[in-house]
């Protein structure tokens, strides 16, 4: 079926949320069959920063939803939004 | 030097019809891959006597770079023609990713539909053509690909062209205005220049067709709409919603309203990437500080608009949907979750108004008792709690939705009209 790269924007609970610690929790939260490709911080506004995570998943049933649910359940996460999906070249 | 105009390009089509090879080939032909990498392989390939080996090695190099994690932006690639710069996305084939194409960040401005000549139209070819119409992608280029595997046969090309033209006609595209190009992405035929393998073909190459695309107008003359992604209270600053501007322009000092909550405030300041900006335009990811409202007045899924032209809250709305998958039949009373901009709201099917004939777009049946996978229909829907949605004809960016249930994308659709909640 091939792989899909999903770029997921993760908003923290607040300005004081420890993003490094949050980034460290992403990998272990991932559902089986998915893989964290990379993560970086991105400035948003007024001191708020988002984590941009790229997750590799199968081009198959379910899509990004299991990953969204898993990330949203992590302590310190306010919101999760998939901003892009594409098969990597 | 000013940056060239930008276009978002989607590559769509059935699995294994050569989509990723085409993306690689476009990168290769437009110099998006470092020249020394290509040169090195070209020399080796020349020694071995086959040019296409060089391209295969370039594909391997791209894969290696990915494995070494050089950049995390791997969901898209960039390449330039002399006229435009393109961000290209090779779309996933599975329908469960349709939700992401509707609620994701960048709407495609154009698409290349790849159809392998030996196979012709397949299941995902049909689905992607239907969806590109629903998603409002109005510019298409058709690559009749893998011509090398069809002996560069003009006859086969014409058969596939006819088959695809019929499919395009069904959903309202004018096939006669869409370029069809016989290609082999692997061998490089008709990608950049006319190929000697297809002397019978006199039309444009893929790159010629991409240069002939037009840049859609920025939706900055429409009313302001910013779906709220999250809202914060930041000490020393106050209430800060964050989100992406979909339409219109937001200026400092403007009086704004959040719907459905109805909270009214004034824009004190706007920041993007931690820098203050005087105004925000479509595509900007911003945080904005609002005077006069508390954090509890704004939540994810709300839409910010001008107080003089508030976002529309629907009592009910009618939508045109394409049912992608459903284990049985959909009837009145069905209440799945609608994903629209940043909101996820359960909505009840109040009536099935018309079933449409996918072959002609004409009404096939008034008030059908059920609809099922493969059907297109007009339905009336009632949100179980207040939500903002706009008719696609007025504000397309807030008029498209994906219907989800049981962990699947059941349908994709667009809002045709809204009965406003008073």
pLDDT in tens, B373-388: 988 899 999 999 999 9
| Percent of chain B whose pLDDT exceeds 90 | 73
pLDDT grade for B182, boundaries at 50, 70 and 90: very high
Shared domain check, B321 and B299 = no
Shared domain check, B201 and B81 = yes
Q: How far is A68 from chain B (nearest CA, A)?
A: 11
Cβ pair B170, B5 in contact under 8 A: no
Q: How far is A3 from chain B (nearest CA, A)?
A: 8
B23, B78, B242, B267, best to mutate vs chain A, most A CBs in 10 Å: B242
Q: Given this model, what pLDDT does residue A1 score?
A: 43
Shared domain check, B392 and B320 = yes
Q: Residue B120 has which token pair? A: 């012709």
Q: Given this model, what pLDDT does residue B51 score?
A: 65
**ipTM for the complex?**
0.94
Number of domains in chain B: 3
Cα dihedral B290, B292, B294, B299 sign: negative
Q: How many helices (H) and strands (E) are present in chain B, helices listed first?
A: 7, 22
User: Looking at residues B79-99, what average pLDDT do you find?
Assistant: 92
Shared domain check, B11 and B158 = yes
Other CB atoms within a 10 A radius of the CB of residue B122 amount to 15
Q: Residue B304 has which token pair? A: 């910010």
Convert the pLDDT of each residue in B49-79 to its tens digit: 666 677 777 788 778 877 777 788 888 999 9
Q: How far is B199 from chain A (nearest CA, A)?
A: 31
- Topology classification of domain A3-86: Alpha-Beta Plaits (3.30.70)
Residue B219 lies in a domain: no
Count A/B contacts: CB-CB distance under 8 Å. 149
Please report, to the nearest 10 degrees, the dihedral formed by the alpha carbons of residues B40, B42, B44, B49 taken in order.
Answer: 180
Q: How far is B422 from chain A (nearest CA, A)?
A: 30
- Please give the full DSSP string across B331-346, using - where no structure is assigned: -TT---EEEETTEEEE
Cα gap B208→B180, rounded to integer Å: 12
Kindly report which listed range (A74-78, B84-88, B168-172, B381-385) carries the lowest average pLDDT score.
B168-172
The three-class DSSP label of residue B177 is: helix
Out of B211, B235, B254, pick the residue that ends a domain: B211
More reliable by pLDDT, A2 or B82: B82
Q: Given this model, what pLDDT does residue A2 score?
A: 63
**pLDDT by position in tens, chain A (length 89):** 468 999 999 999 999 999 999 999 999 999 999 999 999 999 999 999 999 999 999 988 889 999 999 999 999 999 999 999 999 87
∠ CA A22-A27-A30 to the nearest 5 degrees?
110
Q: 61-80 in A: which are within 8 Å (CB) of B? A: 61-66, 78-79
Q: Given this model, what pLDDT does residue A82 score?
A: 95
- A83 vs B104, B272, B300: nearest CB: B104
| B344: nearest Cα among A52, A82, A70, A15 | A82
- Of all residues in chain B, the one with the smallest CA distance to A11 is B230
Q: B193 forms bridges with which residues in the sheet?
A: none
Residue A17 near chain B (CB below 8 Å): no
Convert the pLDDT of each residue in B258-294 to its tens digit: 999 999 999 999 999 999 999 999 999 999 999 999 8
The three-class DSSP label of residue B95 is: helix
Residue B277 near chain A (CB below 8 Å): no
Does residue B133 carry a pLDDT above 80?
A: yes
Residue A21 near chain B (CB below 8 Å): no
Shared domain check, B339 and B254 = no
Show me where the domains of chain A are located. Answer: 3-86
pLDDT grade for B232, boundaries at 50, 70 and 90: very high
Residues of B in contact with A46 (CB under 8 A): 232, 234, 237, 240, 271, 274, 287, 289
Contact at CB, A65 and B404, closer than 8 angstroms: yes
Tell me the pLDDT of chain B averaged across its residues. 92
More reliable by pLDDT, B143 or B361: B143
- Of all residues in chain A, the one with the smallest CA distance to B91 is A86
Shared domain check, B107 and B22 = yes
Shared domain check, B202 and B243 = no
Shared domain check, B351 and B231 = no
Q: How many helices (H) and strands (E) are present in chain A, helices listed first?
A: 2, 4
User: Looking at residues B177-189, what average pLDDT do you find?
Assistant: 95
Shared domain check, B171 and B35 = yes
Domain extent, residue B51, equals 6-211
Shared domain check, B195 and B146 = yes
Cα gap B60→B388, rounded to integer Å: 46
Cα gap A57→A35, rounded to integer Å: 7
Convert the pLDDT of each residue in B397-407 to its tens digit: 999 999 999 98
DSSP state of B295: G
End-to-end CA distance of chain B: 52
Residue A16 near chain B (CB below 8 Å): no
DSSP state of B223: P
Does residue B1 carry a pLDDT above 60?
A: no
Out of B285, B306, B327, pick the residue that ends a domain: B306
Does residue B408 carry a pLDDT above 60?
A: yes
């Amino acid at each position: 079926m091939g792989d899909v790269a999903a770029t997921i924007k993760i908003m923290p609970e607040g300005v004081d949320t420890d993003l490094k610690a949050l980034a460290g929790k992403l990998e272990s939260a991932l559902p089986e069959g998915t893989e964290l490709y990379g993560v970086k911080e991105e400035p948003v506004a007024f001191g708020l920063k988002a984590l941009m995570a790229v997750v590799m998943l199968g081009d198959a049933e379910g899509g990004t939803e299991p990953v969204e649910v898993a990330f949203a359940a992590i302590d310190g996460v306010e919101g999760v939004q998939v901003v892009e999906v594409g098969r990597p070249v | 030097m000013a940056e060239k105009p930008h276009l978002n390009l989607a590559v769509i089509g059935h699995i294994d019809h050569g989509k990723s090879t085409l993306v690689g080939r476009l990168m290769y032909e437009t110099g998006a891959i470092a020249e020394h990498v290509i040169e090195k392989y070209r020399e080796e390939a020349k020694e071995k006597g086959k040019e296409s080996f060089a391209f295969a090695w370039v594909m391997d190099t791209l894969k290696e770079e990915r494995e070494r994690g050089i950049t995390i932006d791997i969901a898209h690639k960039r390449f330039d023609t002399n006229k435009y710069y393109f961000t290209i996305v090779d779309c996933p084939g599975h329908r469960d990713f349709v939700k992401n194409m509707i609620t994701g960040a960048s709407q495609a401005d154009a698409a290349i539909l790849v159809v392998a000549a030996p196979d012709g139209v397949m299941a995902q070819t049909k689905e992607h053509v239907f969806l590109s119409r629903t998603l409002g992608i109005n510019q298409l280029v058709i690559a009749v690909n893998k011509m090398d595997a069809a002996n560069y046969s003009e006859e086969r090309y014409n058969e596939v062209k006819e088959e695809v033209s019929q499919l395009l006609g069904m959903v309202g595209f004018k096939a006669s205005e869409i370029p069809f190009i016989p290609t082999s992405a692997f061998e490089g035929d008709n990608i950049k220049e006319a190929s000697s393998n297809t002397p019978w073909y006199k039309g444009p190459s893929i790159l010629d067709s991409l240069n002939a695309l037009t840049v859609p107008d920025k939706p900055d003359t429409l009313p302001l709409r910013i779906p709220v992604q999250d809202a914060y209270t930041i000490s020393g600053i106050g209430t800060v919603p964050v989100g992406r501007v979909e339409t219109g322009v937001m200026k400092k000092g403007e009086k704004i309203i959040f719907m459905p909550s109805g909270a009214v405030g004034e824009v004190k300041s706007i920041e993007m990437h931690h820098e203050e900006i005087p105004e925000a335009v479509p595509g900007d990811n911003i945080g904005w500080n609002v005077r006069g409202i508390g954090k509890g007045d704004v939540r994810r899924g709300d839409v910010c608009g001008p107080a003089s032209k508030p976002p529309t809250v629907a009592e009910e709305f009618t939508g045109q949907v394409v049912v992608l998958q459903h284990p049985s039949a959909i009837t009145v009373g069905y209440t799945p979750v609608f994903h629209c901009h940043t909101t996820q709201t359960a909505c009840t099917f109040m009536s099935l108004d018309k079933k449409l004939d996918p072959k002609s777009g004409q009404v096939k049946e008034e008030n059908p008792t059920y609809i099922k996978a493969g059907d297109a229909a007009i339905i009336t829907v009632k949100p179980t709690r207040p939500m903002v949605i706009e008719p696609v004809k007025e504000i397309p960016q807030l008029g498209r939705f994906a219907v989800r249930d049981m962990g699947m994308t059941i349908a994709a659709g667009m809002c045709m009209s809204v009965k406003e909640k008073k």
